[in-house]
Amino acid sequence: MGLTSLLKNKTVKNAGWIIGGKIAYMAMSFIVGLLTARYLGPSSYGLISYATAYVTFFHAFCTLGITNILVKKFVDSPDEEGVTIGTTLVLRGISSLLSIGVIVGIVAIVDKGENLTVLVALLCSLGVMFQIFDTINYWFQRRLKSKYSSLASLVGYFVVSAYRVLLLILNASVEFFALATAVDYLVIAVFLIIAYKKNQGPKFSFSIKKAKELLRESSSFILTGMMGAIYAVTDKFMLKQMIGETVVGYYAVAVALSTIWCFVLSAVIDSVVPSIMEAHNKEEELFEKRCVQLYAIVFYLSLFVSLMFTIFSDLAIKILYGKAYLPSSNILKVVTWYTAFSYLGVARNSWMVCKNVQKYSIIIYVTAALANIVGNYFLIPVLGAVGAGLASLITQILTILIAFFIKPLRRNFVLMCKAVILKGVFEKKNQTINTQGEN
């Protein structure tokens, strides 16, 4: 494929819009985020991170796992897009309202008497109500028109960055910073709807039949998502209860810095998934080749970035966040390495959906959740926040290795091994990872 053809390729252009939008977001928000962390200090910053952990935990319930199958539903049933989106919005709206109530209730019990913590948790959780409109993103992804969702996100990022700068100027309290996520998702939702209408998206409608169909096909992702969330937020929960919110602040900075570039991985995965799913309907060899190529990109790009973070962690923390956050440096040297395994798991979802074996993911995530809880329980008292990072790293590796022991998933494990040793990744064939065609 020549350079001109490559630049015209729909998948490449779609990925370019996604990545471009995320880079623009990073450019606007990174400095604001640094100033916010410096302004709030490890304690208040840790408090917001602790509250956000609850939102992360309930994210799987809020989405009902439907986002994992939306692109495939659009591919398989293009004439039902309107009812699919409308029904998804209703289902997610109901689950989000329930989640907000449960989050506030749990925090009120677990952190009894800490009124500020409860209020911050409530304000942080409000964003999930507006986040339901990211459903429209998948409609744009299916059409390889992610430039519209990227532009909508860019506007949202700009508004919320301006909002946070205003808070810094006014010396606002932590409660107003907790509300920033809700402001972000609200603005993005408005512009996504506008872009959807401008692109003549089908009218939203609701169907009980479609609701049952979506819930039936996505049900396995709800529990697996919540299990995944357990090992994603257990560290912050346990650090808060076992040590305190200041340590959560150190840990949150390390995690935030190690994952700041992960939008690139998400963009690559989101852009390639439609082509992988279409290849599955055409030819198995092409389908597997695209999976292997995606896994290789995710794995080696992650390893390179993790190596850089490990080498320059002290310098990065000191320059970006200040001496107050220097304890985050050792944590960063550990948590950065789980990115490769974490995003291999994300990339694997499309293979599991195509093969209709997503029900087995529950085994992976239950095992991982239990391992993470046990790991944190034993490692935090000994190593503190570094122990929490080590527990997360071990857990992420386990989520990949355990697939070997589950027969229906063993083929995918083999594909990942091929990607790691770069077997077949660079073979010159007409069928490559970007063969969506030209405009």
Does 437 reside within a domain? no
Does 425 reside within a domain? no
Tokens of 15: 């990925």
Does 431 reside within a domain? no
pLDDT of residue 294: 92
Does 439 reside within a domain? no
Does 238 reside within a domain? yes
Task: List the pLDDT tens digit at each of the 439 positions of the chain.
Answer: 443 444 445 556 655 666 666 676 666 667 777 788 888 899 998 999 888 888 888 877 788 777 777 777 777 777 888 888 899 899 989 989 999 999 999 999 988 888 999 999 999 999 888 888 888 888 877 776 666 667 777 777 778 888 888 888 888 889 999 988 888 888 888 888 888 888 878 888 888 988 888 888 787 777 767 776 776 788 888 998 899 889 999 998 999 899 888 878 887 887 788 888 888 888 888 898 989 999 999 999 999 999 999 999 999 999 889 889 999 999 999 999 999 999 998 899 889 988 888 778 778 878 888 888 999 999 999 999 999 999 999 999 998 999 899 999 999 999 999 999 988 777 655 444 444 443 3
CA 389 to chain centre: 18
Does 362 reside within a domain? yes
From 242, 322, 291, 317, select the one nearest 416 (Cα to Cα): 291
47, 116 in Cβ contact below 8 A?
yes
In total, how many domains does the chain have?
Answer: 1
Tokens of 400: 């990949």
Rg over alpha carbons for the chain, rounded to the nearest Å, is 21
From 356, 316, 98, select the one nearest 219 (Cα to Cα): 356
pLDDT of residue 59: 79
pLDDT of residue 144: 64
pLDDT of residue 38: 87
Q: What is the span of the domain harbouring residue 75?
A: 3-420
Most distant CA atoms of the chain, gap in Å: 65
Burial of 172 (0-12, 13-18, 19+ CB in 10 A): middle
